[in-house]
A and B are shown apart, each in its own frame.
Chain A
Amino acid sequence: MSLKAFHLIFVTATTLFSLFFGLWSLNQYRNIDPSALNLTFVFLAFVMLIALPIYGYYFLKKLKDVSFL
């Protein structure tokens, strides 16, 4: 597996992590600690949740001639 393929796996894992972190922060904000910090985490996580797949697509396009192996 090449770095290209491993990077795409990493981007997928990070996107899933962002989803989890966003939901965790949202739960913290709504039920435990309604602080600006937790709201920032929610915002940050959901920005990453959108940005990472877009980046992944851009990356895939940039290295379209490089093998996955």
Chain B
Amino acid sequence: MEVPYTVENRPDTGLYNAKVGIWLFLASEVMLFGALFSSYILLRVGALEGHWPTELLNVPIGTVNTMVLILSSVTVVMAWASLKLNDFKKFKMYQLATVICACMFVLIKSYEYRDKLTHHDVVLADGMRVDGHLVEETDEYIILSHPVSYPAVKGIGYRPTAIKEAEHGDDHHHAEDRKIMLADIVKRTTWGPWANTYFAIYFTLTGLHALHVIAGALVIAYYWGPGSKMWKTNPEQFTNRIEVSGLFWHFVDLVWIFLFPILYLL
């Protein structure tokens, strides 16, 4: 049995079926991400004044990732345009470039996650809070690199303005590695999703987005590799499939264009 309207447009919708399908799916995705964006905004405006951690994310890394995704949007649309212009060689090249960009994004994101998950935050018995990256751990002590110390009057990740300004100073001065005895530690955690509301929503939003990037990359990689055989048997349907995967990829990129400023800059 032949599946209808995979190439020609349906008279009632004016579109081929896969395009209607992907737009319905993207509508549900808008609702999913929209709910999470709304949650983020409500949590942020609902936080006590000065209790929402800011400037904890790495803007240069986030910027590089944004550039990578913008570039991937160009390559994904160029792959589709190449098929429209009957240039299969160029299609292969652009499609591969998109997969490489997707892999780069995921790798950079993984590095960022690792950086946060190894960032320790301890509250000491003397009422001070120290955060930094774990260098060494024994049964008696831990050593943190680039430690930042300040009174533990507020929640995890909240650094007083004076500390932030010192970090932005000319020499980016940080103290030497700091050895902390376990006996002096009252509370200890890492900057994971369990740390506080901010990191919970950060990991939820970016984790869900990264899953979409991985899913999209798998589909695009399939059409670059084994799926591209269809070009020989049914080029029009293949071109439509590439368009549909490109629409999904653009949605994923558009989500990041909103995520990046909201999480990293504001």
A residues within 8 A CB of B246? 3, 7
B60 interface neighbour in A7, A33, A37, A59, Cβ under 8 Å:
A37
A3 interface neighbour in B59, B66, B77, Cβ under 8 Å:
B77
Chain B binding surface, main DSSP class = helix
Knowing A10-B254, A13-B254, A14-B70, the reply to whether A3 touches B247 (Cβ < 8 A) is yes
User: B62-82: contact bitstring with A at CB < 8 Å (1 yes, 0 no)?
Assistant: 010010001001100100110
A10 interface neighbour in B23, B80, B250, Cβ under 8 Å:
B250
B residues within 8 A CB of A10? 73, 250, 253-254, 257
Which residue of B is nearest A16, CB measured?
Answer: B257
- What interface size band does chain A fall in? 20 to 34
Task: Report yes or no: B253 in contact with A17, Cβ–Cβ below 8 A.
Answer: no
Which residues of chain B from 64 to 102 have a CB within 8 Å of any chain A CB? 66, 70, 73-74, 77, 80-81, 84
> Chain B interface (Cβ within 8 Å of chain A)?
14-15, 19, 23, 59-60, 63, 66, 70, 73-74, 77, 80-81, 84, 168, 243, 246-247, 250, 253-254, 257, 260-261, 265
Known pairs A20-B261, A44-B63. 8 more at Cβ < 8 A?
A: A4-B77, A7-B73, A13-B257, A14-B257, A17-B257, A35-B168, A37-B60, A69-B15
